[in-house]
Amino acid sequence: MDEEAVEQNNACKNPANRSITTVEELRIALEKMGLSTKGHKAELKRRYRKASKKQKEKEDDVKTTVAYRDTSEATNVSEKAITEATVNMMEEATTIENLIESKASDKKKQPFDYYLFFDVEATCEENGGFTYPNEIIEFPVVLVDGSTFDIVDEFRSYVKPTRNPILSDFCIKLTGIQQSTVDESPTFVEVLDLFQEFMAKYGLFQTKSATFVTDGPFDIRDFITKQCKHSKLKKRPAYFDIPWVNIRQSFKRFYKQTENKNISMMLSYLNMKFEGREHSGLDDARNLVAIGKRMHEEGCIFKPNCNYSFRNNQVYYQTNKQKRRR
């Protein structure tokens, strides 16, 4: 069978090949491609196949380029969408930060530069009552920044009692303060000198405004009054005559309670726990700070609500008949 017969036979088997099976068709196809039409059939066919292969490669290159361009465009669109989403998230975060800063700036400013959280411990006996001549044996103060209620510094000194220098077993068990500790401690007057040096470092009651915060009126109204009498001070220190904050009253009003709460009750209401040892003056003061900080963060303004009146606070322990004033 000659070459032309083979081509015709193949064309019958594969109709797609009919357009290029004859010499005339090959020459027409080559002419359309701009190629030479000279030569015998086998040569024409090789030329056509080679040209067809190159043309297919070009078409494949074009398809690849188009596909890459489409993918690039899709990627660009995706990247653009991601960028826009990122920008939106950043804008939302900035908005949230601005709202937080706005709320912080809207928070009312406390009226004092500093607050001194103060909670003394004193000599006592079981069933001693209010007329017992208590003497201060621990003098602790926790100083906080009025704008943040963060702790700035602490002052603590134990105090040597002079009227009744021997601590009762009840007092030792209640406060955890040992007899040897108070025996080696400075007197109340010496402690006041040390405390005034502490306050001078921060300009308290001088260049910086300040006030005390206590758990009830007792520490300043009663224990300081008794101790000044024991120490034979002609005048109370002026900073103890300035109106101060009774946090029990502040707590009651701010949270709309029907009665005053002590430290443990205030902590319980706020779902907080006491940290440290109860009836340790410094630990009590630190827990008062924790309560005060929570109240500050929730918008409470710490204004003085308690003051000392000499007329109503004279030597409580002189007679059992004298009524306790609150």
* Ramachandran angles phi, psi of 211, nearest 5°: -155, 160
Catalytic choice (7, 121, 135, 138) = 121
d(CA 141, CA 153): 9
> Interior CA angle at 197 toward 193 and 202, to 5°?
145
Residue 121 annotated to the active site: yes
Q: Which helix H or strand E contains 218, and what residues bound it?
A: helix 218-218
Catalytic choice (25, 125, 190, 279) = 279
60-82 burial, b at 16+ Cβ within 10 Å, e below that, comes to: eeeeeeeeeeeeeeeeeeeeeee
Can you read off the two tokens belonging to residue 267? 């902590």
CA atoms within 13 A on the CB side of 257: 17
d(CA 143, CA 150): 9
d(CA 117, CA 59): 86
Residue 279 annotated to the active site: yes
Residues recognised as catalytic? 121, 279
